[in-house]
Amino acid sequence: MRSKLEFEEFASRYCVNISSIHADNGAYTARIFEDDCRRKNQRSTFCAVGAHWQNGVAERFIGTLVTRARTILLHAMTKWPQVVNESMWLFALRYMVNFHNASILRTKQATPFSLFTGEDPPYALQDFQVFGSPCYVLAKRLQDGDSYQKWRSRCWQGMYIGTSNCHASHIPLIYNPSTHHITPQYHVTYDESFTSVNLQGHPDQDAVLQRIYDKATWIFESKYDADEDIYHFSSFWTDPPFGRILKEMQMAGWPETTAYFQGSPRT
């Protein structure tokens, strides 16, 4: 019943009147459902028991969406089994519904959303990323422009699960595996090839992480900040080679690092 009311509310926003409903038996034969149809002067008809083919258009569409959602969910589970599991099926199905409504039908040369509403869909295809792919969200304090500890990670790892229905079309929904919270984010870098979560035995880990880093957009305080983020992806954390880094940076023509490591203000 709730789905019926929400769909009618959506249709009324675009001046579309629902005059008849063809459905299966079961919940659609409930008294509250039939009373609502009579009150709104809607004609309701039903399929015969065991004859779902009588509602073939809807059944075929549901089957197509479920198959596509299962495909993208299994792909993400294969690539990132530590985080993605079957409980994400609802997000995969929602992702495919939005993707389908924003896709141009070859036979109609229009999107399903525009055919129903007469307006452009709220999403563009370039707004969609690979479902379940790992992404990296800029730390909240850096987003707010506040200072941040030098040796702390600048981002947290999340999982892309689709676009937000309550924000601009390019705002994604990100699942945080640590807190199990889902939030809309803006400062996000995506790893659609899943290389950052499947690096065990990768022949060129540094090159993979460097490509991810190059796609990111960071706000640097100085030239030294830009370089220290590169060292974030190395073994720098376990045994900080201050002397070697200082020597390399001085050889590269960075005299200001001498004053920084000695505790003087940065120039």
Residue 218, classified by CB atoms within 10 Å of its CB into exposed (0-12), middle (13-18) or buried (19+), is middle
Query: Cα–Cα distance between 246 and 90 in angstroms, integer?
Result: 51
Token duo for residue 186: 């803006």
Query: How many whole angstroms separate alpha carbon 38 and alpha carbon 24?
Result: 18
**Mean pLDDT: which of 23-37, 114-128, 204-218, 229-243 is highest?**
114-128
Residue 200 has a pLDDT of 54
Coil vs helix vs strand at 158: strand
Is the pTM of the predicted complex or chain greater than 0.75?
A: no
Main-chain phi, psi angles of 256, to 5 degrees: -70, -15
More confident residue, 223 or 64: 64
The 10 Å Cβ neighbour count of residue 66 is: 14
CB 259, CB 181: distance < 8 Å: no
Query: Which residues pair with residue 199 across a beta bridge?
Result: none
50 vs 24: CA distance, rounded Å: 9
Averaged pLDDT score across all residues of the chain: 78
The more confidently predicted of residues 186 and 27 is 186
What is the number of helices (H) and of strands (E) in the chain? 10, 7
Other residues' Cβ atoms within 10 Å of the Cβ of residue 95 = 24
Quote the Cα angle for 212-216-217, to 5°.
165
What is the distance, to the nearest Å, from the Cα of residue 52 to the centroid of all Cα atoms in its chain? Answer: 34
Instruction: Give the tokens for residue 226.
Output: 């830009």
Reading the block at residue 218, the tokens are 């960071």
Which residues, 6+ apart, have CB-to-CB distance to 244 below 8 Å? none
d(CA 53, CA 86): 29
Domain range summary for the chain, segments of one domain joined by +:
1-46
CB contact at 8 A, 91 and 162? yes
Lowest mean pLDDT among 15-19, 140-144, 208-212: 208-212
Residue 229 clears pLDDT 50, i.e. is over it: no
Taking the CB of residue 136, how many other CB atoms lie within 10 A of it? Answer: 21
What is the per-residue pLDDT across 166-214, written as a single tens digit (0 to 9) for each?
Answer: 888 889 999 999 999 999 999 999 999 898 887 554 556 566 666 666 7
Task: Characterize 176-188 residue by residue with b for buried, 16 or more Cβ atoms within 10 angstroms of its Cβ, and e for exposed.
Answer: eeeeeebeebebb
Predicted local distance difference test score (pLDDT) of residue 263: 42
Residue pair 261/224 in contact by the 8 Å Cβ criterion: no
pLDDT number for residue 25: 79
Tens-digit pLDDT profile for residues 91-106? 999 999 999 999 988 8
Is the pLDDT at 258 greater than 70, yes or no? no
